[in-house]
């Protein structure tokens, strides 16, 4: 259900756990669907022996996609007008991520009601991995 202006307040929050115990298989699914086959995400031998990382890690875009699931569940289908993030820290296999949207502003632009959100996703240790903003159309 789309959000309604009458029911929203600056500071309101919506949180969802967007992945529990991220599997290497899900990272491989994302590689296959997105077309980003960088071995850093799926190839343990390359990643540990050549690139020098402790293990493979998720695509930043997988973290953004997982975070976007929370956003679309909150604002409704086809309601986003903007969504942008910075990839703050790596996401590793086994991580559990919780994504939160916070209402920063409720406004009108060219006769359209909009909500501005700040977005933050943290791992099981509370460390932020994705930080961003989004804007969505809302009902009056």
Partner 1 sequence: MATDHFPIEAGHIMLFARSIGDTNPIYHDASAAADTEPGHVIPPPTFVQASAQFTDGYVLRPVVGEPWFGSGKEPTGVKRESSGGGGGTGFHAEQHYEYHAPIQPGDVLKAVDKPGKSWEREGRRGGTLKFSESITEYYNQDDVLVVTARSVGVQTSRVVE
Q: What residues are paired with 132 via a beta bridge?
A: 85, 119
With binding defined as CB under 8 A, does residue 16 bind partner 1? no
Coil vs helix vs strand at 48:
helix
Using CB atoms within 10 Å of the CB of residue 65, give its burial: 0 to 12 exposed, 13 to 18 middle, 19+ buried. middle
- By CB under 8 A, tell whether 93 contacts partner 1: no
Near partner 1 by CB under 8 A: residue from 5, 14, 61, 104:
61
Query: Which residue of 5, 24, 65, 104 would you call a contact of partner 1, by CB under 8 A?
Result: 65
Report the C-alpha gap between 61 and 84 in whole angstroms.
11
Residues 106-135 that bind partner 1 (CB under 8 A): none
Neighbouring C-beta atoms of residue 101, cutoff 10 Å: 25
Q: Least distance to partner 1 from the beta carbon of 45, Å?
A: 4
- Name the residues that contact partner 1, by CB under 8 A: 2, 18-19, 26, 29-30, 32-40, 42-43, 45-46, 49-53, 59-62, 64-66, 68-69, 71-73, 76-87, 90
């Amino acid at each position: 259900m789309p959000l309604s202006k009458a029911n929203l307040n600056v500071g309101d929050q919506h949180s969802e756990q967007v992945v529990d115990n991220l599997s290497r298989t899900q990272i491989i699914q994302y590689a296959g669907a997105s077309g980003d086959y960088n071995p850093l995400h799926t190839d343990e031998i390359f990643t540990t022996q050549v690139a020098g990382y402790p293990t493979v890690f998720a695509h930043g875009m997988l973290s953004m996609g997982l975070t976007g699931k929370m956003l679309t569940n909150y604002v409704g289908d086809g309601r986003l007008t903007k969504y942008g993030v910075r990839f703050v820290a790596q996401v590793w296999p086994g991580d559990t991520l919780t994504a939160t949207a916070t209402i920063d502003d409720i406004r009108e632009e060219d006769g359209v009601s909009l909500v501005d959100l700040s977005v933050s996703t943290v791992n099981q240790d509370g460390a932020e991995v994705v930080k961003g903003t989004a804007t969505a159309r809302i009902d009056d």
